[in-house]
Amino acid sequence: MGLGSANNERNVSVSNFSKNKLARLVEALGVLLTAAFVTAGAAAAAPSVDETEFTSLGFKTLVATTKVQQDWVRGLQPGKIRAVQRTGKKFFIYPDASNNRIYVGGPAEYESYRKLHPEQQSTQDLAKTESAYRAKQATAMSAATARDLSDPFLGASWADLGW
């Protein structure tokens, strides 16, 4: 009786272990599937591109033909215009990753786009405000550096040193 009960206990503990392992596996699969659905939903939520709007504003269409170009287009943030500078000129790029292309325009085309979409100006105004703040801080730091370089004791006198 002692030998049979030991085998039963071992079978019960092995089956409990297998059930726990199976439960963990099912839970991990559930988490992975949830993450996949969320990612797919985010990708599907990218705004659709109105090709006629960009072309009517003067943007040019460039198609990504090589693998490197296609990867670069897919890496751009969807639904946002990105400013880039090439050969000293400023360009504005709007990606259309689903069709492996980008719309490229200059400052005049971008200004026309901004007039049609004033809701996007708030982020640009914020960027200008941040840039002005950085310029103000840079000016203050330059003045402080000039002051410090002109005074070798940084405002301290011999009396402050206890001599």
pLDDT at 122: 55
Give tens-digit pLDDT for 12-25. 555 665 677 777 77
User: Is residue 62 classed as helix, strand or coil in its secondary structure?
Assistant: strand
CA angle (134 as vertex; 129, 140 as ends), nearest 5: 130
Q: Mean pLDDT across the stretch 45-57?
A: 73
pLDDT at 8: 55
- C-alpha 94/C-alpha 76 separation (Å) is 9
pLDDT band (50, 70, 90) for residue 62 = very high
Q: Which residues of 61-76 are buried (b: 16+ CB within 10 A; e: fewer)?
A: eeebeeeeeeeebeeb
Here the tokens at position 71 are: 């990867």
pLDDT band (50, 70, 90) for residue 101 = very high
Beta bridge partners of 4: none
61 vs 137, residue with greater confidence: 61
- Window from 39-43, 47-51, 151-155 with minimum mean pLDDT: 39-43
Tallying the residues shown for the chain, one arrives at 163
pLDDT at position 104 over 90: yes
pLDDT at position 112 over 80: yes
> Which range in 11-15, 60-64, 119-123, 155-159 is most confidently predicted, on average pLDDT?
60-64
Question: If you write DSSP's letter for every residue of 83-107 in order, what string do you get?
Answer: EEEETTEEEEEEEEGGGTEEEEE-H
pLDDT at 7: 56
Nearest to 82 by CA among 103, 60, 97: 103
pLDDT at position 102 over 90: yes
Nearest to 106 by CA among 116, 94, 121: 94
CB 50 within 8 A of CB 59: no
| pTM for this entry | 0.48
